[in-house]
Amino acid sequence: MSARLVVLVSGAGTNLQALLDACADPAYGAKVVAVGADRPAIEGLARARRAGLPTFVAQVTDHPERSGWDAALTEAVAEHEPDLVVLAGFMKILGARFLDRFGDRTVNTHPALLPAFPGAHAVREALAYGVRVTGCTVHFVDGGVDTGPVIAQRAVPVLDGDDEETLHMRIKEVENPLFVETVGRLAREGWTLSDRRVRIGR
């Protein structure tokens, strides 16, 4: 039986697209059952609609308190009964209620080698620091900013003449397949977590 994935996006959705393409093969072992976003009118949602998937939007600004947004997002995700919640370029910190419900099975992808350069401007900050190697990290989500247990990482060299756009593009070329491979393995093989160490397989 295929694992049920709910994917959350905030932008272009190239990681979502890579996942949708992989899910077309039943042997992948997972299927996207819904896509949610924190803002309307983004390419990520358009990709989901083109794939015929249900979508939902939960905007922070629709709620007087952030806790209201947290509750609404939790409810919208819960409706689709996910085995895994997958953050694919979702640019919001999840609330306590969400993590209470889904914190044991929420995965994020980040465009740097954590714990270096957490946060929303990882590519820009890696360039500004002058590192020669950066990369991407797939990790479980906890209450911090990109601080959860690491599941998989891959390195990407920084080239002379790189700017934020070219470097991020080359990171995504590595990130998209790592993300797909890692989510698929978690879905098919399960995992254990002990002292921050993640082992895929039961």
Residue 9 or 183: the one with the smaller Cβ distance to ligand GRF is 9
Q: Which residues does 171 contact at the CB level (< 8 Å), separation at least 6?
A: 111, 123, 134, 135, 136, 156
Residues that bind ligand GRF (CB under 6 A): 9, 11-16, 44, 88-89, 109-111, 172, 175
Rounded alpha-carbon distances, angstroms, from residue 192 to 12, 41, 79, 112, 122: 32, 37, 26, 24, 28
- Residue 149: CB minimum distance to ligand GRF, A: 17
**Eight-class DSSP state of 190:** -
CA distance 130 to 52: 43
Write down the least CB distance from residue 22 to ligand GRF, Å: 14
121 is catalytic: no
CB of 168 to ligand GRF, least distance (A): 6
**Which listed residue (63, 80, 110, 121) is catalytic?**
110
Kindly tell me which of 11 and 149 has the beta carbon lying closer to ligand GRF: 11
Of 26 and 144, the one with the shorter C-beta distance to ligand GRF is 144
Q: Which two tokens stand for residue 144?
A: 């911090």
Q: How far is the CB of 14 from ligand GRF (least distance, A)?
A: 3
Angle value at C-alpha 63, between 59 and 67, nearest 5 degrees: 95
Q: From CA 7, how far away is CA 35, in angstroms rounded? A: 5
For ligand GRF, give the closer residue by CB, 71 or 93. 93
User: Catalytic residue positions?
Assistant: 110
